[in-house]
Amino acid sequence: MSRVLNQIYYLQGGGNGLGHSKSQKIVFPLNIFKNKFKFTKIKMLQTKLCNLNLKNPTILASGILGVTKESVGRIGKSGAGAVTLKSLCHEERMGSKNPTMFGYENVFLNAVGLPGQGIDSAMKEFVRLDNLGVPVIGSIYGYRIEQFGDVAKKMASLRPAMIEVDISCPHMDYGKPYYADPELTAKVTQAVKQNAGKIPVSIKLSPNVYDIKEIAHAAEKAGADAITAINTATGMAIDVDARKPILANKTGGISGPALKPIAVRCVYEIYETVKIPIIGTGGITYGKDAVEMIMAGATAVGIGTGIYYRGIDVFKKVCDEMERWMKKNKVKNLDEIRGCAHG
């Protein structure tokens, strides 16, 4: 199989008749073999997210595996277009008491409490984030507005491709409901933007609000470069034999396939409200899930619990399924279907 090095197509076929071995690279115009060979676009899934050029739209969601250089590299090699680190704040957190997770069928419930090493330890672990072989998104949070800014400044020094701001963890007591208040969302956004330099900033929103469109608009107006939607929804499970909630925290965040319809609805509504790109997250497990989210208006898709259902190579599986669907439906690139559900 010989390659066409125009960065758009691979040439597929038998011997090339040009005196080159199968492993040798050659350069020539696109239309030379137009009717003789089959072409496959390599740009079919390429995605532009703010100033990031992703090889595909799949992104590891925060909280899943992105805690060391080794895990980041492993996820990148497994096919992810980008990797989001586990959320970090100004200090180390031990997280919630056990039990912290519960799952069955298509539902996960967790209240892990954002355990993590803290931004200072992360700076020693990573040193820099722009040389790990895959775009890395640094996820941050804080308890007070000034803490968001301080952590953002330290995160920016690591050179991430983007900074994601978690204002929406459903089982964390931030002291103030940042995710539910447009004014507070705007203040957090401004604090992070003032300390992020030229690094794009995405605000991660919660579905646990009356009007997510209002929150998204406030973030955009305050300078957000993107929106991540959504974080987990609040839920509870009760052990009927013990007659008490299963999780030590009582409530937790719902994730997994059961969250997808809520996420799709939120992305759909946000798309009609803002002009900045959206990372659609929640229940993405198969290629058609990703296509559905993009049709709702997402630029890229976050995958988290999909790893549990399909393994660490879920990113490659989802991309392969997307490509097959696109070829079957004669869709050349994702721009053709992005937001198409809006008519």
Domain borders along the chain are: 1-42, 46-342
Q: What is the pTM of this model?
A: 0.86
User: H or E segment at 319?
Assistant: helix 314-328
For the segment(s) 46-342, the CATH number from 3.20.20.70, 3.90.1530.10, 3.40.50.2000, 1.10.10.10 is 3.20.20.70
Residue 231 pLDDT greater than 90, yes or no:
yes
Q: Among the listed ranges 14-23, 47-56, 86-95, 333-342, which one has the minimum average pLDDT value?
A: 14-23
Exposure letters 323-340 (e unless 16+ CB within 10 A, then b): bebbeeeebeebeebbbe
Q: Among the listed ranges 25-29, 45-49, 176-180, which one has the minimum average pLDDT value?
A: 25-29
Residues labelled catalytic: 169
| 7-13 mean pLDDT | 33
Residue 296 pLDDT greater than 70, yes or no:
yes
Number of separate helices (H) and strands (E) present in the chain: 9, 20
Instruction: Tell me how crowded residue 55 is: count the other CB atoms within 10 A of its CB.
Output: 18
Distance, CA of 263 to CA of 233 (rounded, Å): 9
3-state secondary structure 138-190: EEECCCCHHHHHHHHHHHHCCCCCEEEEECCCCCCCCCCCHHHCHHHHHHHHH
Residues whose CB is less than 8 angstroms from the CB of residue 60 and which lie 6 or more positions away in sequence, other chains included? 66, 75, 80, 82, 83, 84, 302, 303, 304, 315
Tracing tokens 């996420």 back to the chain, one arrives at 263
- State how beta strands 101-104 and 136-140 pair: unpaired
pLDDT at 67: 81
- State how beta strands 47-49 and 52-54 pair: antiparallel
Q: What is the pLDDT of residues 49-88, one digit of tens each?
A: 999 999 999 999 998 787 889 999 999 999 999 999 999 9
pLDDT at 211: 96
Q: Among the listed ranges 93-107, 163-177, 244-258, which one has the minimum average pLDDT value?
A: 163-177
| 274-288 mean pLDDT | 98
pLDDT-derived band at 277, boundaries 50, 70, 90: very high
Helix ranges, 11-170 (H): 69-77, 119-126, 145-156
pLDDT at 50: 98
Confirm if 180 and 208 have CB atoms less than 8 A apart. Answer: yes
